[in-house]
Amino acid sequence: MEQSLDLNEIRAQITETDQQLLKLFAKRRSLTLNVAKSKAHQVRPVRDQQREQELLIRLIKQGKELGLDAHYVTSVFQTIIEDSVLNQQAYLQTLTNPNLQLPMVSVAFLGNKGSYSYLASHRYFSRRAEKIIESGCQSFADIMQQVEAGHVDYGMLPIENTSSGSINEVYDLLQHTNLAIVGEITQPIEHCLLTAVNTRLDNIKTIYAHGQPFTQCSNFLDKQHDIRIEYCDSTADAMAKVYELQDETVAVIGSEEGGHLYQLHALEKSIANQDENHSRFILVARKPVDVAEQIPAKTTFILATGQKPGALVECLLVLKEKGINMCKLESRPIQGRPWEEMFYIDVEANLKSAAMQEAIGELTELTKFIKVLGCYPIEHISPTSVPAAEI
Ligand SMILES: O=C(O)C(=O)C[C@]1(C(=O)O)C=C[C@@H](O)C=C1
């Protein structure tokens, strides 16, 4: 006779197994913290991709013996390793900058609870502080002012998006501030159409959102007919508005995660033009930070060249000669000086390195104006892959 399967009993066993898994995750995390302490001592880089590959190959093999497929094992352990690297980086940063080790931080961001900036702030500080004091702002300028005036420790600002490009307003504000960039984080942007009440897509007559999500979802919006678009100062404001209206004809573009905070649910998911939609945020503070040698660093600086042919090329050649990789180049007009440009450059280098110090020295000679906006740890961890033959 077939054994009867009691759902409650099976679920109790799953709950118990999940608890054991959590304890093992926590144990692994504390072991990797010891690795970071040892690496701090020996000044060895956090990342060791050969070790990661060996580890993945072994786990894939052992997983197969237990009936687990290679894809599953790889994706679980890539996530675990990413967490390990980011935690080690955060720990080493507090050793290098003891003032970062605070139980409580205050952060200004655009909008209120549920905005993408709110989600990015919480993700960034989840491994760095015990408590976050939130300060929702109505504009990017407001965020800068809050930090400049000392009302908050940090400001979280979106700087670029994989689908709508650079956020010019933030670049322009960076030209005129004394704040330093001290960190970055890339946040997946998963736009959904959210509603407060159960309804259908063809009932929707008004969509509320911030300008950026509207741009990033233009293909979806073009396909909808007779829809009124209402621009809001932030995604959080738009969500609060739709919650307040409780109307089956209105919707808001935002993340499902943020929508939960306003009791909104997703009517349509993945409505952005590009499947891979990510925003990069920068964190600004009044004082710059040093980046530990064991961590890959990025330096951001701005410069203005004279109006002579090849002036920018000459600057870029300096970076090439020093073996410094440029990962972003952006130009913005200089206010009050028509047709003159300010160039924003991100390079993968530590400001303290000899190559970078020499480059800044040479660039100072070549340019009319140059200013370092900050040096901070690279937060994007590209996963180590396993050769197909090993899978
Ligand atoms: O073994 C190390 O060196 C670690 O830092 C630990 C670990 C891991 O979590 O397994 C993390 C990062 C390295 O790239 C390799 C492995």
Question: How does DSSP assign 297-346, residue by residue?
Answer: EEEEEEEE--SSTTHHHHHHHHHHHTTPEEEEEEEEEETTEEEEEEEEEE
Give per-residue burial for 352-369: e unless 16+ CB within 10 Å, then b.
Answer: ebeebeebbebbeebbee
What is the ipTM metric for this complex? 0.98
Cβ neighbours, 10 Å, residue 58: 11
For every residue of 209-256, DSSP letters joined together read: E-HHHHHHTHHHHHTS-S-EEEE-SSHHHHHHHHHHH--TTEEEEEEH
Atom 6, ligand 1: residue with shortest CA distance: 32
Q: What is the Cα–Cα distance from 144 to 139, expressed in whole angstroms?
A: 9
pLDDT class for 100, splitting at 50, 70, 90?
Answer: confident
Domains and CATH numbers, the chain: 7-97 (1.20.59.10), 104-189+278-285 (3.40.190.10), 191-268 (3.40.190.10), 297-377 (3.30.70.260)
| Span 289-306, pLDDT tens digits | 999 999 999 999 999 998
Pocket of ligand 1 (CB under 6 A): 32, 35, 46-48, 51-52, 55, 81, 84-85
The residues with which 374 forms a beta bridge, in sequence order, are 300
Residue in the structure block whose two tokens are 């991100």 = 346
Q: Residues within the annotated binding site? A: 11, 28, 39, 48, 52, 84, 88
Chain-wide mean pLDDT for the chain?
94
Which residue out of 30, 31, 43, 46 has the highest number of ligand 1 atoms within 8 Å of its CB and is therefore the one to mutate?
Answer: 46
Q: Is 104 helix (H, G, I), strand (E, B) or coil?
A: strand
Residue 17 CA to ligand 1 center (angstroms) comes to 25
Q: What is the mean pLDDT of residues 137-147?
A: 96
Query: Is residue 3 scored above 70 in pLDDT?
Result: no
Q: Residues within the annotated binding site for substrate? A: 11, 28, 39, 48, 52, 84, 88
pLDDT class for 223, splitting at 50, 70, 90?
Answer: very high
Atom 16, ligand 1: residue with shortest CA distance: 52
- Residue 309 or residue 70, greater confidence: 70
Residue type, 17: T
Query: Is residue 2 scored above 70 in pLDDT?
Result: no
138-144 long-range contacts (CB < 8 A, ≥24 apart) are 138/110, 138/233, 138/234, 139/110, 139/233, 140/110, 140/167, 140/169, 140/170, 140/173, 141/173, 142/108, 143/108, 143/109, 143/110, 144/173, 144/177, 144/179, 144/284
Q: What is the Cα–Cα distance from 258 to 194, expressed in whole angstroms?
A: 10
Cβ neighbours, 10 Å, residue 147: 24
Q: What is the Cα–Cα distance from 10 to 95, expressed in whole angstroms?
A: 46
* Backbone φ and ψ of 210, nearest 5°: -75, 160
Rg of the chain over CA atoms, in angstroms? Answer: 24
pLDDT class for 163, splitting at 50, 70, 90?
Answer: confident
Query: Is residue 167 scored above 90 in pLDDT?
Result: yes
| Span 29-75, pLDDT tens digits | 999 999 999 999 998 999 999 999 999 999 999 999 999 999 999 99
Among 370, 191, 187, 352, CA closest to 283: 187
Residue type, 136: G
Q: Is 26 helix (H, G, I), strand (E, B) or coil?
A: helix
Q: In angstroms, how far is the first alpha carbon of the chain from the final one? A: 39
Q: Is 50 exposed, middle or buried (0-12, 13-18, 19+ CB in 10 A)?
A: exposed
